[in-house]
Amino acid sequence: MILNASGCLDALTAPGVARSLDAFVTKTVTPLLRAGNPPTRIAETDAGMLNSIGLQNPGIDRFCADALPRLRELGVPLWVSVGGFAAADYAELCARLDGEPGIAALELNVSCPNVASPVDATEEIVRAARAVTAKPLYTKLSPSAPDVAAAAEAAAAAGTDGLSVVNTLRGLALDERTLRPVVASGTGGYSGPALRPVALAAVFACHRATGLPIVGMGGVESGRHALDLIAAGASAVALGTVLFRDPSAPGRIRAELAAEAAARGFADPLAARGVAHEESAAPLPPSTKTPAKTP
Ligand SMILES: Cc1cc2nc3c(=O)[nH]c(=O)nc-3n(C[C@H](O)[C@H](O)[C@H](O)COP(=O)(O)O)c2cc1C
């Protein structure tokens, strides 16, 4: 299953890209309108990008009145990402969305690095959300948590149905000439290729700790990267930064993933789920072995 990562695709501007996904995840919605952080909000860096959007969104009332009806018309399963500053915010958002038809899951963003977020309150937030909705809940964790497996266990104990792993890391880029921060708010969320090993380690730890369904994300640019996350324990993969430069990535990566899994003898990519945790590797079929060097 291939999804977009929250905040990395505007489905109403690019409906064709949204329809190429198995589910569309909205940008994080908060109780009230947020204008977001001042520009400059994006910077290119080595091996990834920095963003400091600051959870710009219209607020839950306008989201439900304007965006949601149009998103439903896409015909793609819809996940709504919600965020706030206290457990009560998450409860309010989930209660409101619980009554809305056509939402397949709710993602609790407890991990945005660009707003002061109550990351230590994961268990309290999940419990508050769980009390007001029967919809599937996915809790999105930060790679900066001192112990991401402990955060995953806390979310599991509070009743989350799954995990989204990982959000961005905090990073900083300086202007070449002025040596001042490029992004107006100073630091930003660092995403893209540099996040891959971090995401892989976090998915590995969360799978081992909980066994819950996991949407793995962080720097995925190819089918091989997606297969790595599945082998570490992910049951679905989300695409973020790659979508900004390659809107055809969902179809391409889905095809590459099937080929990469088949080359290793898996009938289906999900048959590889968790194999990174197994003691010894089965020998590869001959077709995937590195060809002998010719003189
Ligand atoms: C421009 C931008 C905006 C983002 N906005 C959100 C957001 O609103 N909510 C959220 O949970 N994550 C947000 N993220 C984080 C992504 O969903 C994802 O977790 C992260 O970028 C790692 O994946 P990637 O390396 O494939 O981009 C955003 C990322 C980017 C680059």
Distance (Å, whole) CA 273 – CA 163: 15
What pLDDT shows up at residue 111? 83
44 bridge partner residues: 49
| pLDDT tens for each residue of 212-260 | 999 999 999 999 999 999 999 999 999 999 999 999 999 999 999 999 9
User: Is residue 91 left, alpha or beta, with left meaning phi > 0 and alpha meaning psi from -120 to 50?
Assistant: alpha
Q: What is the pLDDT of residue 116?
A: 46
**Known catalytic residue: 112?**
yes
The enclosing H or E element of 150 equals helix 148-157
CB of 37 shorter than 6 A to ligand 1: no
8 Å CB contact between 139 and 117: no
Q: pLDDT tens digits, residue range 21-75?
A: 999 999 999 999 999 999 999 999 999 999 999 999 999 999 999 999 999 999 9
Q: Model confidence over 170-202: pLDDT tens digits?
A: 999 999 999 999 999 999 999 999 999 999 999
Q: Which domains does the chain have, with CATH numbers?
A: 2-288 (3.20.20.70)
Ligand 1 neighbour 195 (Cβ under 6 A):
yes
Q: What percent of the chain has pLDDT over 70?
A: 92
Q: What phi-psi label fits residue 179: left (phi over 0), alpha (psi between -120 and 50 degrees) or beta?
A: left
Q: Among 34, 167, 200, 244, say which to mutate for ligand 1: greatest number of ligand atoms within 8 Å of CB.
A: 167
Question: What is the structure's pLDDT at 285?
Answer: 58
CA distance 43 to 24: 25
The identity of residue 255, as a single letter, is A
> Measured from the CA of 217, which atom of ligand 1 is nearest?
23
**Residue 254, H or E segment:** helix 249-263
Residue 109 Cβ inside 6 Å of ligand 1? The answer reads yes
SS3 category, 197: helix
